Amino acid sequence: MEKIRINYTGKGVQPPHYQTEGAAGADVFARLDEPVTVKPLERVMIPTGMTMALPKGFEAQIRPRSGLAWKQGLSVLNSPGTIDCDYRGEIRILLINLGEKDVVISDGDRIAQMVIAPYIQGEFHYADTLDETERGAGGFGSTGV
């Protein structure tokens, strides 16, 4: 298990928390001084009150919580959002209300989930040609429904 160092920017901050032993994503909590109302199709940036340091070679992926998406239409706009290992600012979650009713977010609400994942950086090289594949340039549904 990788050790993730977190720091709190204020009082009352809840650290990410895995709800079950087998959970891949840790719940991330809102840190708000007052509730925020998100109207349909509105996007908001919700603070978490924490900063963190990931080990080199790891990222944190921010994803929607399925229950919020299903029941209220609340989603992470740039899903999955990436937090790089060298970022040291406050973790804020970009949410959008895709539902038909206002959604109220209060301090301490679980607003997203965070998955810690390894990554590798590629080394990019220009090539005059690419190798041929069966798929070729087909995309956006070209392999079927």
Is residue 126 situated within a structural domain? no
Dist CA 96 CA 144 (whole Å): 30
Residue range 32-58: mean pLDDT, rounded: 97
Is residue 58 situated within a structural domain? yes
Is residue 61 situated within a structural domain? yes
How many domains does the chain divide into? 1
Is residue 142 situated within a structural domain? no
For 2-51, the DSSP string reads ---EEEESSTTPPPPB-SSTT-SSEEEE---SS-EEE-TT-EEEEE-SEE
Is residue 131 situated within a structural domain? no
Could you report the per-residue pLDDT of 87-103, keeping only the tens digit for each?
A: 999 999 999 999 999 99
CATH number of the domain within which 106 lies: 2.70.40.10
Please state the pTM of the whole predicted model. 0.88
Is residue 70 situated within a structural domain? yes
DSSP 54: P
Is residue 128 situated within a structural domain? no
* pLDDT score for 25: 97
Terminal Cα distance for the chain, rounded: 38
Report whether 17 contacts 27 (CB < 8 A): yes
Q: Which domain holds residue 47?
A: 5-118
Q: Which secondary-structure segment (H or E) carries 66?
A: helix 66-72
Is residue 135 situated within a structural domain? no
